[in-house]
Amino acid sequence: MVLLLLKHLKSFDFYRPVGLGFASSFVVTFSTLSENYLAGCIIDVFSQSEGYKDFDKEDLMTKVNYYCYVLCLVYFVQFLSMTLESFMFQDLGSKIGIQFKNTLFGHLMYQTQQFYDLQKSGHLLEVFSTSIKSLQDGLSSHFPDLLNCSIRVLFAICYLFYLSWKLTLAIFIATPIVGLALYFQGNVVGNLTTTLLEAQAKLTGKANESISHIKAIKLFNQEETQKAIYSEYNEEYYKTQRKLTFIDSITDGGVTLSVNVCITIGMWYGGILVISGELSPGDLISYTLSALLVHSDLTSIPTATTKLNKMLLNIHKLFVILESPVEKDTGNIELNYVRGDISFEKVTFHYPARAEVGVLQDFDLTFESGKSTALVGKSGQGKSTIISLLMSNSY
């Protein structure tokens, strides 16, 4: 599915805005870590003043002012980068949504009549609304969230090693637990999400089917039967949703617990390093802020991944249509003079989507040349089907 998505995105000038988004994400990550570094520097300036009785207040304030000025500059750069990143991805999502709608509409215009016999109009409208909206949200929101979290985690871990490799190694004792929890959540939640979407499609399909054939249901007194079937499907959907909610809850809690244990270990061992003089108080503050950043992003990555998985499942319907064959334009044939009778002899016909319903059974009819023939009958008796067969739109 990812390869199909990339295949179609190649023609949409996809890589330029994504490249700018990547660059903005790097700048935002750098500015965030710079905030933590500058906060640590300010703390170190204050902590140094406690060791002097007659310290130079003017020199101290100069350092604090300098760090605060730089911090304000970092905030401004972060604001510009976040604005550019948000605009690029939001605009990308909107453009991709519009272009996919145009592509899908053009593709549908050249589909065969048999395709429309097999597809319901409600399903096609759902692809236009739900599938493309899901793709748009994924590219403008979920993908940037996953990208930002991944980049911040990578650079933040590198920064933690820079501040204190001993402290980082001590914290990483509990990291395998976090990794296992994330891996478990990614696999189990992905499978349950697929099952949930299938149950939802089954539920929606049943509702559409029952509402479309409500006359027949009332005619044969099948209201209670249809209600029971729908309730069964609804219960199946609820059970899957409940499992997904339970797994999400327990995994999120497990990840949070594991990361909190890591941070506690970091605070304890970091305090020992500060007392021994291997780490300054400012470095410990900067380290803690960066560790909290890793914590926040690690708990956000599974959520973003789940949303992207849902997006890929939702756009499956879209690519089924886009990858289906269309009618080939064989050109125009000019007919200077055509005259003759058109005859139906023992014609039997049914639509592929309703194979059990015979629209025409041993049908005979002749359209005589030079005469007008009227087709008269009740709704559903095959008038439109006959015209469609004459135009070679049904086969």
CA-based end-to-end distance of the chain: 32
Q: What is the mean pLDDT of residues 289-312?
A: 81
- % of the chain exceeding 70 in pLDDT: 81
- % of the chain exceeding 90 in pLDDT: 5
Q: Does 362 score more than 60 pLDDT?
A: yes
The phi, psi pair for 115, rounded to 5°, reads: -60, -45
Q: What is the pLDDT of residue 177?
A: 64
Residue 168 and residue 263: Cα distance in Å, rounded?
A: 10
Q: Is the distance from CB of 326 to CB of 73 less than 8 angstroms? A: no
pLDDT band for position 75 (50/70/90)? very high
Q: For residue 342, which amino acid is it?
A: I
Instruction: Map out the domains of the chain with their CATH numbers.
Output: 2-322 (1.20.1560.10), 342-390 (no CATH)
Q: What is the mean pLDDT of residues 275-295?
A: 87
Other CB atoms within 10 A of residue 100 CB: 22
Q: Could you tell me which residues are beta bridge partners of residue 343?
A: 366
Residue 155 and residue 165: Cα distance in Å, rounded?
A: 14
Q: What is the pLDDT of residue 373?
A: 82
Q: What is the pLDDT of residue 241?
A: 85
Q: What is the DSSP string of 167-191?
A: HHHHHTTSHHHHHHHHHHHHHHHHH
Q: What is the pLDDT of residue 190?
A: 67
Residue 156 and residue 289: Cα distance in Å, rounded?
A: 10
Q: What is the pLDDT of residue 79?
A: 92
Q: What is the pLDDT of residue 57?
A: 66
Residue 308 and residue 290: Cα distance in Å, rounded?
A: 26
Residue 310 and residue 138: Cα distance in Å, rounded?
A: 9
Q: Does 4 score more than 80 pLDDT?
A: no
Q: Is the distance from CB of 316 to CB of 130 less than 8 angstroms? A: no
Read off the pLDDT of residues 38-70 as tens digits, 9 standing for 90 and up: 998 888 887 776 555 555 667 778 888 899 999
Q: 134: burial class by Cβ within 10 Å (0-12, 13-18, 19+)?
A: buried
Q: Is the distance from CB of 257 to CB of 177 less than 8 angstroms? A: no
pLDDT band for position 355 (50/70/90)? low
Other CB atoms within 10 A of residue 74 CB: 18
The phi, psi pair for 326, rounded to 5°, reads: -120, 170
Q: What is the DSSP string of 41-104?
A: HHHHHHHHHTT-SS--HHHHHHHHHHHHHHHHHHHHHHHHHHHHHHHHHHHHHHHHHHHHHHHH
Q: What is the pLDDT of residue 3?
A: 62
Q: What is the mean pLDDT of residues 219-247?
A: 84
Tell which residue, 373, 293, 354, 314, has the closest CA to residue 118.
354
Q: Give the global pTM.
A: 0.67
pLDDT band for position 179 (50/70/90)? low
Q: What is the mean pLDDT of residues 142-148?
A: 87
More confident residue, 21 or 182: 21
Q: Does 13 score more than 70 pLDDT?
A: no
Q: What is the pLDDT of residue 367?
A: 82
Tell which residue, 113, 134, 130, has the closest CA to residue 122.
130
Q: What is the DSSP string of 146-174?
A: HHHHHHHHHHHHHHHHHH-HHHHHHHTTS
Placement of tokens 């086969």 in the chain: 395
Residue 325 and residue 346: Cα distance in Å, rounded?
A: 31
Q: What is the mean pLDDT of residues 70-78?
A: 92
Q: What is the pLDDT of residue 335?
A: 67
The phi, psi pair for 222, rounded to 5°, reads: -105, 20
Q: What is the mean pLDDT of residues 298-307?
A: 79
The pLDDT mean for the chain works out to: 79
- DSSP three-state, residue 366: strand
Read off the pLDDT of residues 248-274 as tens digits, 9 standing for 90 and up: 777 777 777 777 777 788 888 888 988
